[in-house]
């Protein structure tokens, strides 16, 4: 990260570089530790300092394609609740959150936006009934050192046939963590149809940083 030194210590660039370095250097087993300490300052750093807007991007793309009327939605990797907040600014839905960090779940609980909050690792089968949600939403989960494409089938299993899944994928892991291939395979098998796919900056302050934003329709699992 030779660029870090050229930024002042508290510039948005420096804060993001530090966060990315931390994430790269922590193994998957200790990523929870990152959020244990980040939970209390997460909203302030990402939203107020960097203008983080991935939750708004995915909420807008999903809301545009959802049926009218209140729906049940699973917020995957819900963190402190920014994604639910963005969706509820556009629609009235019943939202459950799932995340493996107790500290992030506690911040989410304090916001009072969720019906239920579940603590679980989403790289494993979810502890939720199959086909139980009208839609799922996720921002910021599919990124450096976090969760790869292996979680997608578990999330799809929780969504009702013809339901929607809106999510962001950090552009640098799109190929590397298998998202492009996984989504091509799921499309080819008829399990999903891609309704929306865009790529744009997910920080108002750092224009070079991008995410893919997708909305897919989920078809019934074969067999
Ligand atoms: C960058 S935050 C995104 C939070 C929120 N969706 C947002 O956009 O602000 C990533 C979240 O994913 C959670 N997470 C990371 N790996 C996970 C896993 N294997 N299972 C469940 N949650 C995970 C973290 O605890 C953290 O809350």
For ligand 1, whether the C-beta of 79 sits within 6 Å is yes
Q: Residue 158: phi, psi to the nearest 5?
A: -85, -10
Given this model, what pLDDT does residue 171 score?
94
Helices (H), the chain: 12-25, 31-38, 42-43, 54-63, 82-88, 102-111, 152-157, 179-188
**Fold for domain 49-218?**
Rossmann fold (3.40.50)
Given this model, what pLDDT does residue 22 score?
64
Distance CA 62, CA 204 (A): 20
Burial track 77-111 (b if 16+ CB lie within 10 A, e otherwise): bbbbbbbbbbbbeebebebbbbbbbebbbebbeee
For ligand 1, whether the C-beta of 76 sits within 6 Å is no
Given this model, what pLDDT does residue 207 score?
78
Given this model, what pLDDT does residue 38 score?
87
Domain residue ranges in the chain: 49-218
Given this model, what pLDDT does residue 144 score?
84
Given this model, what pLDDT does residue 145 score?
81
For 90-121, the pLDDT digits (tens) are: 999 999 999 999 999 999 999 999 999 999 99
For ligand 1, whether the C-beta of 55 sits within 6 Å is yes
Question: Which residues of the chain carry a pLDDT beneath 70?
Answer: 1-30, 223
Given this model, what pLDDT does residue 212 score?
98
Cα 223 to middle of ligand 1, angstroms: 31
Given this model, what pLDDT does residue 2 score?
33
């Amino acid at each position: 990260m030779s660029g870090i030194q050229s930024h002042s210590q508290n510039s948005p660039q420096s804060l993001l570089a530090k966060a990315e370095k931390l994430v790269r250097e922590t193994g998957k087993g200790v990523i929870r530790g990152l959020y244990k300490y980040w939970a209390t300052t997460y909203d302030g750093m990402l939203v107020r300092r960097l203008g983080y807007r991935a939750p708004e991007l995915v909420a807008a793309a999903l809301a545009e394609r959802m049926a009218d009327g209140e729906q049940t939605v699973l917020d995957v990797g819900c963190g402190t609740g920014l994604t639910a907040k963005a969706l509820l600014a556009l629609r009235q839905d019943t939202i459950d959150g799932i995340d493996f960090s107790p500290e992030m779940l506690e911040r989410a609980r304090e916001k009072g936006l969720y019906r239920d909050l579940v603590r679980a690792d989403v790289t494993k089968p979810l502890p939720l009934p199959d086909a139980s949600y009208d839609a799922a939403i996720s921002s910021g989960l599919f990124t450096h050192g976090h969760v790869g494409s292996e979680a997608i089938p578990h999330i799809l299993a929780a969504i009702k046939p013809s339901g929607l899944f809106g999510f962001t994928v950090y552009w640098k892991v799109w190929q590397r963590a298998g998202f492009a291939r996984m989504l091509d395979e799921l499309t080819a098998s008829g399990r999903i149809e891609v309704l929306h796919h865009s790529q744009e900056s997910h920080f108002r302050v750092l224009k070079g940083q991008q995410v893919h934003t997708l909305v897919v329709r989920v078809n019934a699992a074969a067999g």
